[in-house]
């Protein structure tokens, strides 16, 4: 029997992972705030669609963006991607992101969500360098990476993946369990800031670029995942950033603190009952047999909570 390594989309249906679904809706809601910089329909969206194109569907339907690029490394399955492409306005680019991103025109304000299924590595850092070397002011960049390592193996895996970009100060304890998310966030943030510093060198102070963190999600739909990102703009546009009001969204994180997306296991009937009680003060929300901890988890994210049901089309 010939064994082949399957792509992650062949093993996991990304459209029905509950924590990812919640995150996707939160991100899409926050993208609406960009109207202070430019009309949303003028933005370009770049991502990894996979055959499900879940984020592309949401971005197109709710934000009205028609300039969309999906990067797919699995060129051997081109026919499948083309068949599943939900909208004609999605431009398919086949190849590694390190090959595709440098060839794209960067004369659009962009929303970029590179949702990697693997660990942080040199490819991820190279993609960040390409993006922030070329990105237009008023753009948002989001990066998702796997921060799940086998016990005792994280340090060696990261040294192999990052080579000379591996921080010297890290020890095994820094990468145990969820600790890895904080360490990897710092690696990603350092790469972004280093690239921006080089780009800013010849620019006047008022025209210098900054990266302002907005997202610091942790969640697990099986593997522990980190989603980190923020907005990129010129200092002269800081007033536009303030008018966006990102800080009014409960899941925005501008510092070290993470927003944990935790999904309780509830029946459809329990969800309907909780919805009928929300929004409300949490000490007033009750449900027989369901712990207060699960009620709090649900109430925190109920507006974005996915409901999946079986149906025949």
pLDDT in tens, 32-70: 999 999 999 999 999 998 899 999 999 999 999 999 999
Residue 4 has pLDDT above 50, yes or no: no
Number of Cβ within 10 Å of residue 161's Cβ equals: 17
Non-local (6+) Cβ contacts of 3 within 8 A are none
pLDDT at res. 279: 95
Per DSSP (E only), the strands in 172-301 are: 209-220, 224-234, 259-261
CA 1 to CA 50: how far, in whole Å? 27
> Domain segments of the chain: what residues?
12-261, 268-304
Structure tokens at 256: 């070290």
CATH fold of 12-261: Rossmann fold (3.40.50)
CA 165 to CA 100: how far, in whole Å? 23
pLDDT at res. 159: 95
Residue 9 has pLDDT above 60, yes or no: no
Closest CA to 32 of 231, 188, 208: 231
DSSP for 114-182 reads EE-SS---HHHHHHHHHHHHHPPTTEEEEEEEE----TTTHHHHHHHHHGGGS-TT--GGGGSTTHHHH
CA 208 to CA 113: how far, in whole Å? 23
CA 66 to CA 77: how far, in whole Å? 24
Residue 275 has pLDDT above 90, yes or no: yes
The alpha-carbon radius of gyration of the chain (Å, integer) is 20
CA 77 to CA 81: how far, in whole Å? 7
How does pLDDT run across 193-234, given as a tens digit for each residue?
A: 999 999 999 999 889 999 999 999 999 988 999 999 999 999
How does pLDDT run across 113-150, given as a tens digit for each residue?
A: 999 999 999 999 999 999 999 999 999 999 999 999 99
Residue with tokens 């989603």: 227
Non-local (6+) Cβ contacts of 69 within 8 A are 44, 45, 46, 47, 90, 91, 92, 93, 104
């Amino acid at each position: 029997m010939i064994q082949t390594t399957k792509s992650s989309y062949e093993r996991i249906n990304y459209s029905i992972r509950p924590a990812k679904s919640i995150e996707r809706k939160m991100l899409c809601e926050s993208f609406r705030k960009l109207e202070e910089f430019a009309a949303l329909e003028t933005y370009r969206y770049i991502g990894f669609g996979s055959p499900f194109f879940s984020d592309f569907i949401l971005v197109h339907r709710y934000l009205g963006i028609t300039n969309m690029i999906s990067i797919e490394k699995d060129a051997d399955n081109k026919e499948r991607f083309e068949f599943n492409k939900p909208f004609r306005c999605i431009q398919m680019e086949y190849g590694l992101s390190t090959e595709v991103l440098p060839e794209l025109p960067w004369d659009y304000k962009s929303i970029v969500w590179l949702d990697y299924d693997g660990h942080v590595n040199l490819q991820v850092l190279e993609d960040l360098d390409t993006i922030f070397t070329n990105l237009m002011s008023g753009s948002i960049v989001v990066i998702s990476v796997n921060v799940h390592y086998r016990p005792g193996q994280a340090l060696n895996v990261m040294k192999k993946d990052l080579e000379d970009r591996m921080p010297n100060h890290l020890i095994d304890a820094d990468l145990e369990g969820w600790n890895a998310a904080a360490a990897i966030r710092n690696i990603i943030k350092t790469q972004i800031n280093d690239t921006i510093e080089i780009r800013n060198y010849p620019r006047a102070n008022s025209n210098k670029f900054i990266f302002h963190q907005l997202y610091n999600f942790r969640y697990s739909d099986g593997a522990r995942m980190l989603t980190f990102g923020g907005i990129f703009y010129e200092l002269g546009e800081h007033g536009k950033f303030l008018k966006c009001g990102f800080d009014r969204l409960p899941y925005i994180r501008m510092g070290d603190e993470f927003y944990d997306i935790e999904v309780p296991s509830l029946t459809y009937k329990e969800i309907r009952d909780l919805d009928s009680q929300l929004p409300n003060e949490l000490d007033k929300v009750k449900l027989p047999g369901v712990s207060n901890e699960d009620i709090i988890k649900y109430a925190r994210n109920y507006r974005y909570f996915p409901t999946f049901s079986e149906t025949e089309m």
